[in-house]
């Protein structure tokens, strides 16, 4: 049976604004399937984003949705979650939004380990503003502001999140569409701050400039570079050259979750009265 996406999409809001072949739509579908799997209550679920193409996602989802300012999703969401810890709080956005201007809020959300799930749609570029390089654009690649090839090294978002203290980090790709929901389900179920990076593509501003002839070519690249963590264990460093690990990259359950810790502060404070 066809999956009933409509149940989660606000009536009248499609078609969405994304370009033909933009990966963000594929990620949105994965998120919807995950929400359905978990049977989330729409009224008890907040979907929060910053600004960017990816950040337009909340407008389509029939929940409590918050399209904040560029880079600020994690900080707004922290406020929502602290005020209403019983809500499911899901953050969505682009690589630029999350790791450039939003980098500080991102690492601090990781540090606090507050129970929210952050889905980063990493298309290696600032799509919305027309294709300037982002902190995730690979070195040497072309963007509208790197006419001579990008001199900047890119972030490894997963490594950054782990370094900052996140307790669940996963990576998928828009090609591996049927895994997206599974990663998101596991992330939402995780008690603590979880990061799900989905590599996807911006054919419009990134693909053309970097000589990808079509959306399909870009999709196939995702297929080729991805190596599931399990498979990678059996591969040599050489074989892993240029590859990107996918699946659940990191998970720990020792570090306490932030709102639960704050509940204890309240207890202690009340006891002290």
Partner 1 sequence: MSKKVAFLQGNEAAAHGALYAGCDFFGGYPITPSTEVAEVMSVELPKVGGKFIQMEDEIGAMAAILGASLAGAKVLTSTSGPGLSLKQELIGYGCIAEIPCVIYNVMRGGPSTGMPTGPSQSDVMCAKWGTHGDHPAICLTPASVQETYEEVIRAFNLSEKYRTPVMVMPDEIIAHMRERIVFPEKGELEVVPRKSPTVSPEQYKPYDTSFGDVPPLAAFGSGYKFHVTGLNKMQDGFPTTKAEIVQAEEERQVRKVDANVDDIVTFEEYMLDDADVVVVAYGSTSRSARYAVNVAREQGIKAGMFRIKTFWPFPDKQIKALAGRVKGIVIPEMNLGMCSLELERCAQGKVPVLGIFRVDGEPINPDQILEKIKEVK
Partner 2 sequence: MEKTLPKIEIIEKYCKGCHICVEFCPKDVLEMKGFCVSVKNLEACIKCMQCELRCPDFAIKVITE
Partner 3 sequence: MSRYELRFSGAGGQGLITAGIIMAKAASIYEGKQAVQSQSYGPEARGGASKSEVIISDGPIDYPKATTVDALLAMTQEACDKYTHDLKDGGILLVDSDLVTKLPKGNYKIISFPIINTAKNDVGREIVANIVALGAMVALTGQVSRENAEKAVLSSVPEAFIELNRKAFSIGFEKAMAASA
Ligand X SMILES: Cc1ncc(C[n+]2csc(CCOP(=O)(O)OP(=O)(O)O)c2C)c(N)n1
Separation CA 38–CA 12 (nearest Å)? 25
Helices (H), 61-176: 73-83, 95-96, 103-112, 157-164
Among the listed residues 149, 214, 264, 267, the single contact to partner 2 using CB under 8 A: 214
Among the listed residues 64, 158, 166, 219, the single contact to partner 1 using CB under 8 A: 64
Supply the Cα-derived Rg of the chain in whole angstroms.
Answer: 18
Helices (H), 131-214: 157-164, 177-189
Give Cβ neighbours of residue 169 (< 8 Å, ≥ 6 apart): 158, 161, 162, 194, 195, 197, 248, 249, 250, 251
Partner whose binding site includes residue 126, from ligand X, partner 2, ligand SF4, none (CB under 5 to 8 Å by kind): ligand X
Q: If you count them, how many residues does the chain have?
A: 273
CA nearest neighbour of 195 among 261, 256, 110: 110
- Whole-number minimum distance, CB 26 to partner 3, in Å? 17
Q: Which is nearer to its own copies, 1 or 266 (CB)?
A: 266
Separation CA 101–CA 105 (nearest Å)? 9
Total residues contacting its own copies (rule CB under 8 A)? 36
Q: What is the DSSP letter of 10?
A: P
Among the listed residues 17, 216, 235, 240, the single contact to partner 3 using CB under 8 A: 17
CA nearest neighbour of 168 among 180, 177, 158: 158
CA nearest neighbour of 90 among 100, 99, 80: 80
Which positions from 176 to 195 touch partner 2 by CB under 8 A, shown as an x/- string? -xx-----------------
Among the listed residues 34, 47, 64, 128, the single contact to ligand X using CB under 6 A: 128
88 binds partner 3 (CB under 8 A): no
- Whole-number minimum distance, CB 19 to partner 3, in Å? 5
Which positions from 30 to 69 touch ligand SF4 by CB under 6 A, shown as an x/- string? -----------------------x----------------
- Strand 117-122 relative to strand 88-94, pairing: parallel
Which positions from 108 to 137 touch ligand SF4 by CB under 6 A, shown as an x/- string? ---------------x---xx---------
- Whole-number minimum distance, CB 110 to partner 2, in Å? 29
121 DSSP β-pair partners = 94, 198
261 binds its own copies (CB under 8 A): yes
Partner whose binding site includes residue 261, from partner 2, partner 3, its own copies, none (CB under 5 to 8 Å by kind): its own copies
- List of residues contacting ligand X (CB under 6 A): 51-54, 70, 93-97, 101, 121, 123, 125-129, 134, 202
């Amino acid at each position: 049976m066809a999956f009933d996406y409509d149940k989660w999409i606000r009536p009248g809001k499609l078609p969405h604004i994304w370009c033909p072949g933009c990966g963000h739509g594929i990620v949105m579908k994965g998120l919807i399937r995950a929400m359905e799997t978990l049977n989330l209550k729409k009224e008890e679920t907040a979907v929060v984003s910053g600004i960017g193409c990816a950040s337009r996602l909340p407008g389509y989802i029939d929940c409590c949705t918050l399209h904040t300012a560029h880079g600020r999703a994690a900080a707004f969401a922290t406020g929502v979650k602290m005020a209403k810890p019983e809500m499911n709080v899901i953050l969505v956005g682009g690589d630029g939004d999350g790791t450039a201007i939003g980098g500080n809020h991102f690492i601090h959300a990781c540090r606090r380990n507050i129970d929210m799930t952050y889905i980063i749609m990493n298309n290696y570029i600032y799509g919305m503003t027309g294709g300037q390089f982002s902190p995730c654009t690979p070195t040497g690649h072309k963007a509208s502001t790197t006419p001579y090839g990008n001199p900047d090294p890119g972030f490894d978002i997963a490594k950054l999140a782990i370094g900052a203290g996140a307790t669940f980090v996963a990576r998928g790709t828009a090609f591996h569409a049927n895994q997206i929901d599974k990663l998101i389900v596991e992330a939402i179920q995780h008690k603590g701050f979880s990061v799900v990076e989905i590599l996807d593509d911006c054919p419009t501003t990134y693909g053309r400039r970097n000589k990808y002839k079509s959306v399909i070519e870009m999709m196939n690249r995702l297929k080729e570079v991805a190596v599931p963590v399990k498979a990678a264990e059996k591969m040599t460093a050489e074989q892993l050259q240029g590859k990107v690990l996918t699946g659940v990259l990191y998970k720990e359950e020792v570090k306490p979750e932030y709102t639960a810790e704050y509940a204890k502060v309240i207890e202690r404070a009340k006891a002290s009265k």
